[in-house]
């Protein structure tokens, strides 16, 4: 009588933990969704990331509180795990996925480990269902009412926070960003975005569209009275070297940690931000601004 509920609650706890660590830094998870190379539009990526958090939260809370819906909840959890496994396997095989993002930035997991973890979770749910039967009532086992209320409130909080992040949406700067904290070495001097005029690009080393935009950005970098141009990039060292070899940027290319990167970028790079004395004046997604647009903004 106790084995089935216990196993389902273990899986439920993992779902809730997964949703919680994702929502703590939803922009970073949106970036990870981008690297599955299934969605490319920023709005679609933002919706997908938010949807994953909400579905994991709802299923996790249901499993933790003993709501089974005559096997429907465990069945939905198995279907979700199978779907995740298929996506990871596809992106691993065809797009070189290296990290699944299942537990946000808290626990890094390779595709092989992720697939193995999902298979184990599916097996645990199958064993749980066998332990008390698929025909059990919708609430075959119940947690204490106080526990159910607390878990329900926690799940609602996750969903509300996720919705708040999603409301910020792609294309926003998620409020004031600490551009003044950014600094780099341009080969001669140490340069801080806290002073002067800069156009900061944010790139992904494996992002093909990012590579295409380097040419126009090179033109802006050598334009008369143009701001300093610098690009911050995420990726493995070898990927960044290949990016630089292919694109030949005429501006500094600075490697950045993905967690730090997510503070400045929405669901998917590239993003271009015009900064004056550490404050963002404007930003553009997908393509860099024309020199005339930059000059007009700086005259204001």
Residue ranges of the chain assigned to CATH 3.40.30.10: 179-299
**32 pLDDT more than 60:** yes
Q: pLDDT tens-digit profile of 198-243?
A: 999 999 888 888 999 999 999 988 888 889 999 999 888 888 999 9
What's the whole-number average pLDDT of the chain? 81
pLDDT at residue 145 in the model: 56
pLDDT at residue 163 in the model: 53
- The token pair at 124 is 């645990």
Q: Which residues of 14-45 are buried (b: 16+ CB within 10 A; e: fewer)?
A: bbbbbbbbbbebbbbbbbbbbbbbebeebeeb
Q: Which residues touch 14 (CB under 8 Å, ≥6 apart)?
A: 60, 121
Average pLDDT estimate for 128-153: 56
Average pLDDT estimate for 3-27: 86
Poorest-pLDDT segment among 6-20, 94-108, 132-146, 258-272: 132-146
pLDDT at residue 141 in the model: 47
Whether domain 179-299 has CATH 3.40.30.10: yes
**9 pLDDT more than 70:** yes
Distances (CA, A) of 120 to 72, 115, 139, 246: 19, 9, 24, 42
Beta carbons of 195 and 277 less than 8 angstroms apart: yes
What's the CA angle centered on 235, arms 232 and 240, to 5 degrees? 75
Q: pLDDT tens-digit profile of 76-134?
A: 999 999 999 999 999 888 878 878 888 876 788 889 999 999 999 999 998 888 876 64
Q: pLDDT tens-digit profile of 188-198?
A: 888 999 899 99
Work out the pLDDT band at 180, boundaries 50, 70, 90: confident
pLDDT at residue 158 in the model: 57
For tokens 């900061």, name the residue: 200
224: phi then psi, degrees, rounded to nearest 5: -65, 135
pLDDT at residue 170 in the model: 39
**175 pLDDT more than 50:** no
């Amino acid at each position: 009588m106790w084995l089935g509920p216990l196993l389902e609650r273990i899986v439920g706890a993992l779902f809730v933990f997964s949703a919680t660590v994702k929502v703590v830094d939803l922009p970073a998870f949106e970036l990870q969704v981008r690297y599955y190379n299934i969605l490319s539009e920023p709005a679609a990526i933002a919706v997908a990331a938010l949807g994953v958090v909400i579905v994991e939260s709802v299923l996790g809370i249901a499993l933790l509180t003993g709501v089974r819906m005559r096997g429907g909840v465990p069945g939905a959890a198995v279907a979700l795990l199978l779907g995740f496994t298929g996506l990871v396997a596809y992106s691993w095989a065809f797009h070189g996925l290296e990290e699944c993002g299942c537990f946000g930035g808290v626990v890094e997991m390779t595709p092989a480990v992720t697939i193995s973890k999902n298979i184990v979770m599916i097996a645990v749910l199958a064993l749980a269902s066998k332990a008390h039967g698929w025909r059990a009532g919708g609430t075959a086992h119940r947690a204490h009412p106080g526990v159910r209320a607390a878990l329900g409130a926690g799940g609602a909080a996750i969903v509300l926070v996720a919705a708040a992040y999603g409301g910020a949406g792609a294309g926003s700067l998620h409020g004031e960003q600490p551009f003044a904290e950014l600094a780099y070495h341009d080969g001669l001097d140490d340069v801080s975005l806290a002073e002067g005029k800069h156009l900061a690009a944010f790139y992904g080393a494996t992002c093909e569209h990012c590579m295409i935009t380097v040419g126009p950005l090179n033109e802006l970098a050598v334009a008369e009275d143009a701001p300093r141009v610098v690009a911050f990039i995420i990726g493995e060292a070898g990927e960044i070297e290949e990016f630089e070899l292919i694109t030949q940027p005429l501006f500094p290319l600075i490697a950045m940690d993905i967690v730090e990167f997510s503070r400045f970028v929405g669901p998917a790079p590239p993003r271009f931000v015009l900064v004056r004395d550490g404050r963002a004046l404007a930003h553009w997604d997908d393509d860099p601004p024309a020199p005339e647009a930059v000059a007009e903004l700086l005259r204001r």
